[in-house]
Structure formats: C-alpha cells, structure tokens
Amino acid sequence: MSKETLFKQGAIWAFIVVELIFFSVAGSYLSVSDSAFMDFDNMLLLLKQSAPIGIIALGMTIIMINGNIDLSVGATYALAAIVLLDSMTWPFMQAMGDWAIPLAWFFALLTGTVLGAINGLIVWKTGVDAFIVTLGSMLGYRGLVFMYNGEQPTSHLNWTLVDFAEAQFLGLHTATWFLLVAALILWLVMTKTVHGRNAYAIGNNREAAVNAGIRVGPHFLWNFMLIGFLAALSAVVFYSESGSVNPNDGMLYELWAITAVVLGGTKLSGGYGSIISTLGGVIAIQLLRKGLGHIGADTETVNLVIGLILIAVLFLDRQLNRTGKEELKI
C-alpha cells in the first residue's frame, strides 16, 4: 500500500478518534449525564445504531466503485419492511406461528433483490445513466409504498422477533452482527474475487473494461441486486425490532448512505473506494449524532456539521488528486 492510500484510508479513522476525544472532553463539561461518552456500552450501542444506514452504505460503496449510484435504496428499504411486517399477518403465515418469521425475512429479502434487479436490468438494457434510472425508481417504489396502505403505518408487533433483535451475543447486538458480517463478506468479495477486481476496473475506465472482455451489463445487474438485497436486509434487521413502518420511512437514507461512502473516501466518479472505510464513514456520522446529543447541542445541527465536513473532504480529495497528476507530468 502506497503512502498516499494509507493516508487516505486512515483519514476517516483519525477523524473518528478526534470525534471521540472531542465529545469525551466536551461531554465531561456539558453533558447532563454522569456516564462517560466513551463508556463501553455506549460504543456498542453506536455500532448497533450504525447498522440501518451502514448495511445500505456497504452496498452503495460497490455501486459507487462501479461509477454508478442508487437513489432508490430508501424506498426499497420501506417496501421490504412492509412486506416483512405485512406478510406475518397473512392467514397461512399466522398458522405457522413463529416459523413464519424466517419466511417473512425471505419474502422481504426477495422483494429487495427483485427491486434491485429491476434497476440493474434497466441500466444494463437501456444504457441510461444509473442516476436517472434510480431517481425514477425511487419515486416509483415510494409510490408503491403509499399504494400499499395509504398514509397509514403498516404494523405487526411480534415479541419473539423483538427479543431476537434486542439480543446481545458476545456483547454485540444482533444488528451489529449483521453489519459486521455483511462488511466482512463484502470486503472479501471486493478484495479477493474477480468480481471485486472487475468492479474497480469498470469504475476506472468502462471502455477499457469492455475491451478487456468484462461483461459490464451483467456485472451491474449483480451489483444492483446486491444493493437491493442489502437495503432489504437493513429493513429486516431494523423492523424486526420495531414492528411498524411509516410510509415515509427510509426517506433520505440514500443520501445518508452516499454521504457515509464519500466520507469514507470512495470517489464519486468510481474506480476507487473501500468497504472498511465506508464502515468508518457510517460510524463517524452516527458518532457525530450521538455526540452532539450527548453534549446537549441541537440534534438538527448535525446536518450542518456533516455538510461542512463533506465539502471539506471533497475539496481535500481534489487537492490530493491534483498533486498526483502534476507529479505524473514530471
């Protein structure tokens, strides 16, 4: 690993350390709470709360390494959640008792994968930019969500499911396990497999990738199915614990996921990025939210701070890349 990549990938973790120090120090003066911010349980909670956006952001990293983008994940998330909760109230499912739970999960994950496949197929077969395709499907999928139950929430509270979702295994919450395992698998895919190498190649130079014999269309299709699956997985993890979905749930999740990915250093133009750094980006955002709440700042100011940081990161990224080009000229 070159010095520059090391710096780039380390930056987000350095930022997290600074956040931790800042909120610990500020918290000891400003917080009304007696427990420290760096409390171990609080850090475990941080990971758990990072899961809903985090799982989606992992998929978004791969999509963005491809040079694509997916704006429909928030709507996919809501639709998968509705399928998850509503399917458990279907008569034949109720007859199955708690065995309906894994089946409901399967239905939800299937929904997400199919919605992702629709995006992928359109991008593949029409060649329209993913931004436009998923902008359309974002509106369309959200329309489906509202058609399902109007403005009303869809609910099904199952305490077995809640107990499972609230459980802690080896100290980590269920949601954290899903986040970490998904991150591990995707990290392996991106670093150790042909599919992963192809993803970088396509993002770097699509022409060259086509010339090298990479089948770009099917590759996109797989990745859109993957992010659809992950959006649904995120819904499964979260709604197992809450049992009711508002029709506007998941709105803006696509933007938070993209923000986390960009904070983690993935390039918007594609060809560069890392799963682990995205995990850092997600944690950094959640840490900021948690920290500002801890020291008693207005929670909405978190948006302002993240916005400033995002612009700073992009500016810095551009500066770094510029020097890179100049060095090549010499």
Partner 1 sequence: MKMTFTAALVASTAMTGAAMAGSHSETMTIGITQNNVGVDSYQTTYEKAFIEAAEANDMVEAVVLDAGGDVARQIAQMEDLIQQEVDAIIIWPTNGEAVIPAVRKAHSAGISVIVTNSNIAEQGFDFVASFSGPDNITQGSRSAEIMCDKFKDMGIADEARVVQISGQPGYTTAIERAKGFEDRLPEVCPNVTLVETQPGDWNREKSQQVMEAFLVKYDDIDGVYAGDDNMGVGALNAAKAAGREGIIFVGATNFSVGYDAMADGDYWGSIYQSPVDDAEAALKTAIDVLNGEDVPFLNYFDTPKITQDNMDEFTKPVF
Which residues here bind partner 1, judged by CB under 8 A?
Answer: 11, 14-15, 18-19, 22, 26, 30-35, 39, 41-42, 45, 48-49, 52, 151-153, 155, 157, 162, 165-166, 238, 241-246, 248-249, 286, 288-290, 292-301, 304-305, 308-309, 312-313, 315-316
Q: Which residue has the tokens 């500016």?
A: 315
Q: Which is nearer to partner 1, 203 or 281 (CB)?
A: 281
CB distance 80 to 232 below 8 Å: yes
Nearer to partner 1, 132 or 309 (CB): 309
- Check if the beta carbon of residue 85 is closer than 8 Å to that of residue 155: yes
Nearer to partner 1, 207 or 300 (CB): 300
Distances (CA, A) of 180 to 4, 164, 175, 250: 27, 17, 9, 21
Any bridge partners for residue 244, and if so which? 155
SS3 173: strand
Supply the minimum distance, in Å, between the C-beta of residue 89 and partner 1.
Answer: 13
Alpha carbon distance 130, 234 (integer Å): 22
Minimum distance from CB of 50 to partner 1 (Å)? 9
Q: Where are the alpha helices (DSSP H) in 150-215?
A: 159-166, 174-192, 194-204, 206-211
Closest CA to 145 of 111, 109, 116, 117: 111
Least distance between partner 1 and beta carbon 117 (Å): 26
Identity of the residue, 15 or 200, whose beta carbon is nearer to partner 1 in the bound complex:
15
Is 34 or 207 the residue whose CB approaches partner 1 more closely? 34
Q: Residue 107 CB, nearest distance to partner 1 (Å)?
A: 20
Smallest distance from the beta carbon of 23 to partner 1, in angstroms?
A: 9
